[in-house]
């Protein structure tokens, strides 16, 4: 892309404003949707339909006292939210909002920049953003914050691998790592069983295991429920942001919602056709106007954000060992097996040894169902060995009273047991 500098500047300003406004809307949208799920009203007082509530909360964070505890590392404590916020905005530089248009006499894409390795840039930027969370936990000099930062880094290592492997099959099928070219590759009409019904080749169906793995990984990557273990309030108060307040806290709050939109935008771009119209509306030629691309794009991303809200309102938080086992023993092996399958089919197709017909699609769907079934079944729990009976259980052996475990027996109580009968009253005492 050879856009003039002034056009690049316009795109940067518009993208920045869109992300800020979209974040404010998503805060309101999440509150309203969760309220509907829980039979509540949500924000309704400030502005029409309560739209001013999220704006008021943002202004409150900007003007309230930005308190910094005395024991923190002041440089890293300030640098950490800057890293998280910068990475959140930078990721949108390579995400396409629309096709080629003419703007002020210059032909350009509705995209800040298009790179041959755009998806790798997305993965790199999202990986750098984790430093903002780790440094926040380290610099706060607090055990709760440190544990939250360590959990964030462990989640990133586990689910970033699964997320990257899920995208490899998209590279193999599209033959490119450019986000714009991947979207355009999905414009190719899909002819199921040789019938032309104007159905586009969206990769969520063709690469269903990759799509499922990516969706699970993106929830874990954003620390959202049910994978919000770095911010588990029942264990870590607020995790890595326990010691933050004011503007620094607002930056983390903004980065969380932008990251939620970022991973949704990546899923839309790589699996849901990006800015392409939704079937069967794609058969209507006026709706294929590239200026309408941002509308289709926002609708698809908002559906993914609705899924985030739905998960938060319905699923309980995972136990940490269950969460890590899902990533290392479930998603990563399945992603590796699926890459081998896709690479084999792509090699056979390039050598003209296998045509795209009913047999090919039947085999691909069958393999996808088998892999998803293996992922859902999981491992059987190992039997717990029975403990030897060492006599009565002493609840105060460690200095603190603890309840007995299954199979443990409390010692019999000694001494006088108070009677539950009413005491006798002296003669003549009034009742």
Question: pLDDT tens across 21-48, in order?
Answer: 999 899 899 989 988 888 888 888 888 8
Q: How much is the mean pLDDT over the chain?
A: 81
Q: Average of pLDDT values for 192-208?
A: 70
Please say if the pLDDT value at position 358 is more than 80: no
pLDDT tier at 227, thresholds 50, 70, 90: confident
Q: Average of pLDDT values for 379-391?
A: 55
3-state secondary structure the chain: CCCCHHHHHHHHHHHHHHHHHHHHHHHHHHHHHHHHHCCCCCCCCCCHHHCHHHHHHHHHHHHCCCCCCCCCCHHHHHHHHHHHHHHHHHHHHHCCCCCEEEECCEEEECCCCCCCCHHHHHHHHHHHHHHHHHHHHHHCCCHHHHHHHHHHHHHHHHHHHHHHHHHHHHHHHHCCCCHHHHHHHCCCEECHHHCCCCEECCHHHHCHHHHHHHHHHHHHHCCCCCCCHHHCHHHHCCHHHCCCCHHHHHHHHHHHHHHHHHHHHHHHHHHCCCCCCCCCHHHCHHHHCHHHHHHHHHHHHHHHHHHHHHHHHHCCCCCHHHHHHHHHHHHHHHHHHHHHHHHHHHHHHHCCCCCCCHHHHHHHHHHHHHHHHHHHHCCCCCCCCCCCCCCCCCCCCCCCCCCCCCCCCCCCCCCCCCCCCCCCCCCCCCC
Please say if the pLDDT value at position 189 is more than 60: yes
Higher pLDDT, 39 or 231: 39
- Percent of the chain having pLDDT more than 70? 82
- pTM for the model stands at 0.80
pLDDT tier at 305, thresholds 50, 70, 90: very high
Q: Which pLDDT belongs to residue 9?
A: 92
Domain boundaries, the chain: 66-377
Please say if the pLDDT value at position 306 is more than 90: yes
Please say if the pLDDT value at position 18 is more than 90: yes
Higher pLDDT, 340 or 422: 340
Higher pLDDT, 431 or 151: 151
Alpha-carbon distances of 399 from 150, 409, 418, 430, rounded to whole Å = 30, 18, 26, 47
Bridge partner list, 189: 200
pLDDT tier at 146, thresholds 50, 70, 90: confident
Q: Which pLDDT belongs to residue 251?
A: 85
Peptide bond into 280 cis (omega under 30): yes
pLDDT tier at 299, thresholds 50, 70, 90: very high
Please say if the pLDDT value at position 226 is more than 50: yes
pLDDT in tens, 408-430: 777 665 554 444 445 555 565 55
Going by C-alpha positions, the residue among 17, 14, 12, 170 that lies closest to residue 93 is 12
pLDDT tier at 290, thresholds 50, 70, 90: confident
- Percent of the chain having pLDDT more than 90? 18
Q: Which pLDDT belongs to residue 193?
A: 47
Q: Average of pLDDT values for 261-288?
A: 87
The backbone torsions φ and ψ at residue 297, rounded to the nearest 5 degrees and listed phi first, read: -65, -45
Query: Cα separation of 199 and 274, whole Å?
Result: 15
């Amino acid at each position: 892309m050879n856009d003039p500098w002034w056009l690049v500047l316009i795109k940067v300003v518009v993208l920045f404003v869109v992300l800020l406004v979209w974040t404010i809307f998503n805060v309101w949208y999440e509150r309203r949707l969760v309220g509907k799920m829980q039979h509540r009203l949500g924000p309704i007082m400030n502005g029409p339909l309560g739209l001013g509530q999220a704006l008021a909360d943002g202004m409150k964070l900007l003007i309230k006292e930005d308190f910094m505890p005395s024991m923190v590392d002041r440089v890293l404590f300030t640098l950490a939210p800057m890293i998280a916020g910068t990475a959140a905005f930078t990721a949108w530089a390579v995400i396409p909002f629309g096709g080629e248009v003419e703007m002020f006499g210059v032909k350009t894409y509705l995209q800040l920049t298009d790179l041959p390795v755009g998806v790798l840039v997305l993965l790199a930027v999202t990986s750098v953003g984790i430093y903002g969370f780790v440094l926040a936990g380290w610099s706060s000099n607090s055990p709760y914050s440190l544990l939250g930062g360590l959990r964030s880094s462990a989640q990133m290592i586990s689910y970033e691998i699964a997320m990257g492997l899920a995208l490899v099959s998209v590279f193999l099928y599209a033959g490119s790592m450019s986000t714009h070219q991947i979207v355009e590759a999905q414009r190719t009409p899909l002819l199921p069983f040789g019938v032309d019904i104007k159905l586009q080749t969206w990769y969520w169906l063709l690469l269903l295991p990759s799509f499922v793995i990516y969706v699970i990984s993106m929830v874990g990557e954003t620390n959202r429920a049910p994978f919000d273990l770095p911010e588990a309030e029942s264990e870590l108060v607020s995790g890595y942001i326990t010691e933050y307040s004011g503007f620094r806290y607002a930056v983390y709050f903004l980065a969380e919602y932008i990251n939620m939109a970022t991973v949704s935008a990546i899923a839309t771009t790589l699996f849901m056709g990006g800015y392409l119209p939704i079937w069967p509306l794609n058969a209507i030629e006026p709706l294929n106007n590239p200026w309408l691309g941002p509308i289709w794009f926002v609708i698809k991303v908002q559906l993914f954000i609705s899924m985030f809200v739905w998960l938060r309102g319905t699923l309980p938080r995972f136990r940490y060992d269950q969460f890590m086992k899902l990533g290392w023993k479930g998603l990563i092996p399945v992603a590796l097996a699926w890459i081998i399958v896709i690479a084999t089919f792509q090699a056979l197709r390039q050598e003209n040894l296998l045509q795209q017909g009913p047999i090919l699609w039947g085999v691909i769907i069958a393999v996808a169902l088998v892999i998803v079934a293996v992922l859902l079944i999981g491992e059987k729990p190992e039997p717990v060995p029975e403990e030897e009976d060492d006599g009565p259980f002493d609840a105060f052996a460690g200095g603190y009273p603890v309840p007995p475990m299954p199979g443990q027996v409390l010692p019999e109580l000694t001494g006088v047991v108070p009677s539950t009968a009413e005491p006798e009253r002296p003669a003549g005492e009034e009742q």
